[in-house]
A = this chain, B = another copy of it.
Amino acid sequence: MTLSSQYQVITSPLGDGLHKDGKRLTPQRLKVLNLFENIGAGNHLSAEEVHEKLIKSSSKVSLATIYRTLRLLVQMGLLHELELSEGGHRYELLSNETADHHHLICIRCGRTEEFESDEVLNAGKVAAKVNGFKLIESSLNVRAICPNCI
């Protein structure tokens, strides 16, 4: 009762998406999403990295909750899950500006470059249609060796 914040009706895109589904807007969920928003697009973080970054910013969230939250944010369409290489999944912010894009990955050092290709997206569309599948997403991973690692 020392703060009036508990009486305010807080509205946010995340909160709205959660509430209309019987889910709750928690500080942990906000922290995870804010991390991705602050770090900007083009960053591909693992669950472990999200965990470490939040600890460094003195906003500890348990690792179990990080995993739960990443899955939730992917389901909500706010994050994108990637399988770039070994060492588990990675996640990146999914924004309207950042169109569907693909990844060129150095198998030696992990350096990752992004690129777009309408031809690739179209190939995925065609393959789905031809087989009567309902398309969800296409992702092209190009495994290669970067100039520094050759």
Do B119 and A142 touch (CB < 8 A)? no
Q: Given A104-B131, A115-B130, A131-B146, decide whether A124 and B140 contact each other with a Cβ distance below 8 A.
A: yes
Which of B102, B123, B137, B146 contacts A119, CB < 8 Å? B123
Q: Verify if A113 is at the interface (C-beta below 8 Å from B).
A: yes
Q: Chain A 72-114, CB within 8 Å of chain B: the 1/0 string?
A: 0000000000010000000000000000001010110000010
Q: Is the CB of B139 within 8 A of A141?
A: yes
Q: Report if A134-B123 is in contact (Cβ < 8 Å); known contacts: A83-B83, A104-B128, A128-B104.
A: no
Indicate if the CB atoms of A144 and B134 lie closer than 8 Å. Answer: yes
Q: A83-B83, A131-B146 are in contact. Are A136 and B124 (CB under 8 A)?
A: no
Tell which of A104, A134, A140 has the most Cβ of chain B within 10 Å. Answer: A140
Does A69 reach chain B (CB closer than 8 Å)? Answer: no
Cβ of A7 under 8 Å from chain B: no
> Which chain B residues lie closer than 8 Å to A144 at the CB level?
128, 133-136
A147–B130 Cα gap in the complex (Å)? 11
**A143 is an interface residue with CB less than 8 A from chain B:** yes
